[in-house]
Structure 1
Amino acid sequence: MESQVNRLVDKVWDRYNQTPPGQRVMIAIGGIPGSGKTSLARAVAAGINQKHVQQAGSTDSVNDPVAMAVPMDGFHLTRAQLSAMPDPERAHARRGAEFTFDGAAFLALVNSLRAPVETTSVAVLAPSFDHAVKDPVAGSISIGPRQRIVIFEGNYVCLDKEPWRTASDAQHMDERWFVDVDFTVARKRLIKRHVAAGIAADAEAAAARADENDLVNGAEIVAGLVAAIDETIVSREDASWS
């Protein structure tokens, strides 16, 4: 798996070096829940930043990296918004499904980052997700003018449905990647994750959540994948992106 990451790091780094200084390189990494897309995005960003430090030879490059991984999690609708839906019980039960995200806000962020950037440009703020309070935190991720490589990752960033389709088209993203994983492997990871995060009380409850929500969403993601994918990265049972 390390060789895959190294190849992707080199690919994005080469593209960055060929990109005019007033533009960002933007990558969308999609995948089903439990595919490993978050870990992959972080590993690629870390590899790029290591290259940047080696080239620049400055501690400023460590403190103000050129690449950032930006998760889609911050665009979850809040619990209050879910409660205001016509069927709040279903909305809460299906949290994580496409309709429980603010796709329009995600597209607005992508548009902001696609605009020309200068050294004096103000930072663009993105939301994160606080798992302790189980809600997004607005403006908690700062993407400054030095962050000229942005790697978005999330379930729906490569979904062939508006507004996700527009957010990932060739005018917005330089490349679209998809992390392919066997559903059985993803299920095992999700069960461990849900128990460790306190989302489920035990493995049985975690398995039910995976089967009734996460993998249902996963089927929609695979069925609705955009046609133009630049990289398909296979995540195996023993995958380690580091």
Structure 2
Amino acid sequence: MSGEGGRCPPSFGLPPGYFDTKEGQDLLARVAGLRGDRLLIAVAGAPGSGKSTLAEALVGQLRDAVLVPMDGFHLDDSVLDARGLRQRKGAVETFDAEGFAVMVERLARPGREVIYPLFDRSRELAVAGAGVVGSDQRIVVFEGNYLLLDRAPWNRLRYDLTLFLDVPEDELERRLRGRWRGLGKGDAAVAAHLANDLENARVVGEGSRQADVVLRNS
């Protein structure tokens, strides 16, 4: 993984010892240089780009940091069924974008506890009140596909640092195919999930604002 034109092993995880590399150390130094009583960091990228792994690893390197995934704002399957969107689950229109935006705006104000939902993948549903950002936690790291989309309400949100993982589509396809096969999906289901994921990846790649830091993974 590397900023502006470098290379990294094609995997969902970080290269071993990533935060001991110059790039990893530079990223930590950039975070350390941020000033404020509450700092908001956004980690965005397409499905399969590795953003969840990076965000989790970054939080593990920081004091007083907490991870808040966007996935807790998935609309419930019953709502998706009513709207004819079940097959598009994961697309931008299948999230409570306004709800997520309000939470980010609340978290921008320091010194207060904020409760948020978490997505339970084993049950494929969001669980209300499952996550907590404590009043004393200074750094909030968000991760999600659509954090940098240049459309409302996403583009009204302001972060202190934004990261974007840029991965070629053929590599995303390889990873995502492996993900769905690993979950026991048959050929038809894999093909359907893959088509949906890659369509969402194109929305992310073509519609996101420029990030402060772009990590390229080929």
SS of the counterpart of 2:62? helix
C-alpha separation between the residues in 2 aligned to 1:30 and 1:154?
5
SS of the counterpart of 1:84? helix
Letter in 2 for 1:97: A
CA contact (8 A) 1:8 1:44 kept: no
C-alpha separation between the residues in 1 aligned to 2:189 and 2:82?
26
Tell me whether 1:10 sits opposite 2:43 in the alignment: no
RMSD: 1.6
The 5-angstrom pairing of residues 172-187 of structure 1 reads 172-187=158-173
Question: How many residue pairs end up in the alignment?
Answer: 199
Unaligned runs of 5+ in 2: 2-17
Letter in 2 for 1:14: G
Partner of 1:74: 72
C-alpha separation between the residues in 2 aligned to 1:203 and 1:142?
39
Moved more, 98-107 or 189-198: 189-198
Cα deviation for residue 151 of structure 1 reads 0.9
Partner of 2:217: 235
Cα deviation for residue 176 of structure 1 reads 1.7
With normalisation by structure 1, the TM-score equals 0.77
Partner of 2:134: 144
The 5-angstrom pairing of residues 147-166 of structure 1 reads 147-166=137-156
Cα deviation for residue 180 of structure 1 reads 0.3
CA contact (8 A) 2:110 2:138 kept: no
Partner of 1:192: 178
SS of the counterpart of 2:40? strand
With normalisation by structure 2, the TM-score equals 0.86
C-alpha separation between the residues in 2 aligned to 1:96 and 1:178?
18
CA contact (8 A) 1:179 1:232 kept: yes
Q: Percent identity?
A: 37
Unaligned runs of 5+ in 1: 50-65, 237-242
CA contact (8 A) 2:72 2:126 kept: yes
Please, which of 105, 112, 116 is the counterpart of residue 111 of structure 1?
A: 105
Which runs of 4 or more aligned residues in structure 1 lie more than 6 Å from their structure 2 counterparts after TM superposition?
A: none
C-alpha separation between the residues in 2 aligned to 1:203 and 1:12?
43
